[in-house]
Structure 1
Amino acid sequence: MTTAPPTKTSKSLARPAQASEPAASYEAALEELEQLVAQLEAGQLPLDQLLERYQRGAALLAFCRDRLEAVDKQIKVLEGGELKPWDAT
């Protein structure tokens, strides 16, 4: 008898995604990371859940850093390798 995997709602904080699950996007990873930080800072989690959330946070942080680095490299390629100042106007 097989059981179906648990469904995950977008705002469910009861069980975070596993550390090995990739984030859907940079924005989703950042949102989940912010939620994890709030949970960790609250200091109300049992030790095993604290460790799980810390590990997931570390994985999300690495994902976000990798995405930012990839975008930075793309910008440098588009600008011919020359870093130019940002002009928001």
Structure 2
Amino acid sequence: MQQESALSGQSEADPQDALPASYEAAISELDQLVVRMESGGLPLDELLSGYQRGAVLLQFCQERLRTIEDQIKVLDDGVLKTWKPQ
């Protein structure tokens, strides 16, 4: 019973699921993660957890980009336009 509650508590407070503060923070963490994984020095368990964390970060970035794209569509009457600096 204690083991079951420990496992369920682990998934709720798992740092793997902690979302970054911003899109830029997620990209930075992804970059660092890729460098560590490509170094070839990580044990298999750390590679797996790194892959899982990368998947969480990738999903976060995709959702942020989709949200921004939707806001741009709303701002431009539903027409996505190329942004041109003035």
| Structure richer in helix, relative to its length | 2
Matched to 2:58, the amino acid is: L
Matched to 1:38, the amino acid is: V
Cα deviation, residue 52, structure 1: 0.7
For residues 7-22 of structure 1, the aligned pairs below 5 Å read 18-22=15-19
**In the alignment, structure 1 residue 73 sits paired with structure 2 residue 86:** no
Identity rate of aligned residues, in percent? 53
Q: Which runs of 4+ in 1 moved over 4 A?
A: none
Q: How many aligned residue pairs are there?
A: 73
Cα deviation, residue 85, structure 1: 2.3
Q: SS of 1:19's equivalent?
A: helix
In terms of mean alpha carbon deviation, does 20-29 or 58-67 score higher?
20-29
Any conservation in 2 of the 1:76–1:82 contact (CA below 8 Å)? Answer: yes
TM-score, reference length from structure 2: 0.78
TM-score, reference length from structure 1: 0.76
Matched to 1:84, the amino acid is: K
User: Structure 1: where are the runs of 5+ without partners?
Assistant: 1-16
Q: Which residue of 2 aligns with 1:45?
A: 42
Q: Aligned-pair RMSD on alpha carbons? A: 1.3
Q: Deviations over 1:33-61 (max 9, x none)?
A: 10001111111100011111110011001
User: Structure 2: where are the runs of 5+ without partners?
Assistant: 1-13
Aligned with 1:33 (options 26, 30, 34): 30
CA distance in 1, matches of 2:29, 2:82: 31
